Amino acid sequence: MAGTKVSRRERIKKGIRKRVSGSPERPRLSVYRSNKGIYAQVIDDQSGVTLVSASSQAKDFSVSGNKVEQSKAVGKLIAEKALAAGISKVVFDRNGYLYHGRVKSLAEGAREAGLDF
């Protein structure tokens, strides 16, 4: 059996990370979801460097509303930062979470702002 929710997510995450890897040409957009907020990073796995990041808990983030609306705003923010850094194509890493709700909303926001994945 899967055990706890966290151990299930970690097992799924391992399987995803076997197939998904970021490169300098197409870095990985990784999502982390907590009870209070959502976080996104664009990562180059070959050099082990975070290129850009965004969070709903950042001091400069001022979007109010429910968590799904905040996630969409974080997606738009990460896309704007990535495009400013010269990154237009990424590989989406849902990090073991279901592609539903806040994770889906973040992905849709990033796509609407011009990020390609």
Domain ranges for the chain: 23-113
CATH number 3.30.420.100 is the correct assignment for the domain at 23-113: yes
Mean pLDDT value across residues 16-43: 92
pLDDT given at position 17: 82
DSSP string covering 40-108: EEEEETTTTEEEEEEETTSTT----S-HHHHHHHHHHHHHHHHHHTT--B-EEE-TTS-SSTHHHHHHH
Q: What is the pLDDT of residues 85-114, one digit of tens each?
A: 999 999 999 999 999 999 999 999 999 999
Token pair of 63 as six digits:
């979007």
Neighbours of 116 (CB within 10 A): 11
